[in-house]
Amino acid sequence: MISPRYAREIPHRYQLLAARCSSCGSIAFPPRRVCRKCQGQKFEAAKLSSEGTILTFTVIRVGADRFSKQTPYAVAIVELNDGVKITTQIADADVDTLQIGQKVRLVFRKIQEDGKAGILCYGYKAVLV
């Protein structure tokens, strides 16, 4: 991963920085220029809720090469308490006992390594509460 590309996403991945539309109040994550709901273009900074619920999930048994050392791992779509939905890994859980509807909270974790000589890449994962 080229570092400028990585660095641009740091505030969102590390601090859950989002943007709230000044006209309709809907939250965009990551922040965007144009509101998906009302096409408004004015936003104020917002921080995502770090707690939510599993809407659906899978267990990746065959991953892309750069994730192949991590298999099997669970990936879920989580709806956070503020209504924002994200795709995230579920960490520290027995992947065979996960259920739709389980409550989770987001924690800061290493996500992937950029090859042998590249940077370590961090961000959020969810853990069961």
Partner 1 sequence: MRDVYVIGAGMTPFGELWNKSMREIFVDASLAAIQDAGVDHVDSLYVGAMSPGLFIGQEHLGAVVADFLGITPIAATRVESACASGGISFRQAFLEVASGASDIVLAGGVEKMTDGADVTEALATAADQEYEVYHGITFPGLYAMIARAHMHQFGTTREQLAAVAVKNHRNGMKNPNAQFRSELTLEQVMKSTMVADPLRLLDCSPVSDGGAAVIVASAEVASKLKRKNVKVTASAQASDTITLHDRKQLTTLDAVVRASEKAYKMASKKPGDINFAEVHDCFTIAEIVITEDLGFFEKGKGGEAVEKGLTARESGKIPINSSGGLKSKGHPVGATGIAQIIELYEQLSGRAGDRQVKAAKVGLAQNMGGSGASCVVHILEAT
- List residues binding partner 1 (CB under 8 A): 9, 30, 36, 55-67, 70, 73, 75-77, 85-89, 100, 111-112, 121, 123, 125
Question: DSSP assignment, residue 91?
Answer: P
Helix (H) or strand (E) holding 127: strand 120-128
Closest distance of CB 72 from partner 1, Å? 9
Nearer Cβ to partner 1 (12/40): 12
Nearer Cβ to partner 1 (20/125): 125
Nearer Cβ to partner 1 (51/67): 67
Closest distance of CB 79 from partner 1, Å? 9
One-letter amino acid for residue 1 of the chain: M
- Given the structure tokens 């961000």, which residue do they identify? 123
Alpha helices, H only, 2-62: 3-15
**How are beta strands 43-47 and 27-28 bridged, if at all?**
unpaired
Closest distance of CB 18 from partner 1, Å? 12
One-letter amino acid for residue 15 of the chain: Q
